[in-house]
Chain A
Amino acid sequence: MTDKVHLDRPRLLHLLEAMVRIRLFEAKCVELYQAQKILGFLHLYDGEEAVSVGVIEALGPADAVVATYREHGQALARGIGMDVLMAEMLGKVEGCCRGRGGSMHIFDAKTRFYGGNAIVGGGLPLAIGVALGDKLMRRDAVTACFFGDGAAGEGEFHESLNLAALWQLPVLFVCENNLYSMGMALERAEAETDIARKAGCYTMPSEAVDGMDVVAVEAATRRALEHIRAGNGPAFLECRTYRFRAHSMFDAQSYRTREEVAAWRDKGPIVRLTRWMSETGLLHEGEYAAIEKRTKAEIEAAVAFAEAGTLEDPADLLTFVTMESVPQEAAGR
Chain B
Amino acid sequence: MSDTAPMTYREACRQALIEAMEADPRVFMMGEDIGAYGGCYAVTKGLLEMFGPERIRDTPLAESGFTGAGIGAAMVGMRPIVEIMTCNFSLLALDQILNNAATIPHMSGGQFAVPLVIRMATGAGRRVAAQHSHSLEGWYAHIPGIKVVAPAVIADARHMLKSALADPNPVLIFEHVMLYNDTEPFDPSVTAVDIETAAVRREGTAVSIVTYGGSLKKCLAAADTLGEDGISAEVVDLRVLRPLDEATILGSVRKTRRCVIVDEGWRSGSISAEIGMRISEKAFFDLDAPLRRVCAAEVPIPYAPAMEDAALPQVATVVQTVREMLGRG
Contacts and interface: CB of A to CB of B under 8 A. Distances in A.
A294 B67 CA distance: 44
A126 interface: yes
Interface string A143-169: 000000000000110011011001100
A107 B67 contact: no
Interface in B88-146: 95-96, 99-100, 104-113, 115, 144-145
A78 to B, nearest CB: 14
Given A122-B99, A322-B169, A132 B65 contact: no
B65 A107 contact: no
B68 to A, nearest CB: 2
Contact of A129 (B68, B115, B144): B68
B54 interface: yes
B59 interface: yes
Task: Name the residue in B71, B73, B74, B108 with the highest tally of chain A Cβ atoms < 10 Å from its Cβ.
Answer: B108
A101 to B, nearest CB: 5
B168 A324 contact: yes
B72 A101 contact: no
A105 B72 contact: no
B64 A107 contact: no
B71 A323 contact: no
Contacts of A127: 72
A130 B169 contact: no
Contacts of A329: 111
Given A101-B109, A107-B107, A122-B100, A162 B78 contact: no
Given A166-B60, A323-B105, A323-B168, A126 B78 contact: no
Given A101-B108, A125-B67, A321-B106, A132 B62 contact: no
A134 B64 contact: no
Chain A residues touching B, range? 35 or more
Given A122-B100, A125-B65, A136-B28, A109 B111 contact: yes
A125 B68 contact: yes
Contacts of B168: 322-326
Contacts of A163: 59-60, 62, 65-66, 69
B108 A129 contact: no
A46 interface: no
Contact of A156 (B28, B64, B145): B64
Nearest to B72: A129
Interface string B201-227: 000000000000000000000000000
Contacts of B72: 66, 114, 125-133
B171 to A, nearest CB: 10
A50 interface: no
Contacts of A108: 111
Contacts of B144: 321-322
A107 B111 contact: yes
Contacts, number: 170
Interface stretch (A53-61, A92-100, A203-211): A92-100
Contacts of B108: 97, 100-101, 105, 107, 109, 115
B292 interface: no
Interface string A289-329: 00000000000000000000000000000011111111101
B74 to A, nearest CB: 7
A184 B107 CA distance: 29
Nearest to B147: A322
B62 A332 contact: no
B75 interface: yes
B105 to A, nearest CB: 5
A115 B114 CA distance: 14
Contacts of B54: 136
A95 B68 contact: no
Contacts of B95: 119, 122, 156
Contacts of A122: 68, 95-96, 99-100
B89 to A, nearest CB: 13
Contact of B64 (A66, A101, A159): A159
A160 B62 CA distance: 9
Given A107-B109, A163-B62, A323-B113, A126 B145 contact: no
A320 to B, nearest CB: 4
A99 B76 CA distance: 23
Interface string B165-193: 00011000000000000000000000000
Contacts of A132: 69, 72-73, 78
A327 B110 contact: yes
A331 interface: yes
A321 B65 contact: no
B300 interface: no
A64 B99 CA distance: 20
A333 interface: yes
A137 interface: yes
Contacts of A156: 64-65, 68, 95
Given A66-B72, A107-B107, A322-B168, 17 more contacts: A96-B109, A100-B109, A101-B109, A107-B112, A114-B112, A117-B100, A119-B95, A119-B99, A129-B70, A129-B80, A130-B76, A133-B74, A136-B28, A159-B65, A162-B62, A163-B59, A330-B75
8 contacts: A100-B107, A122-B95, A126-B72, A156-B65, A162-B60, A320-B109, A321-B106, A322-B168
Interface of A: 64, 66, 95-101, 105, 107-109, 114-115, 117, 119, 122, 124-134, 136-137, 155-156, 159-160, 162-163, 166-167, 319-327, 329-333
Nearest 8 CB-CB pairings of A with B = A129-B72, A125-B68, A159-B65, A98-B109, A133-B73, A107-B108, A159-B62, A133-B76
Interface of B: 28, 54, 57, 59-60, 62, 64-78, 80, 95-96, 99-100, 104-113, 115, 144-145, 147, 168-169
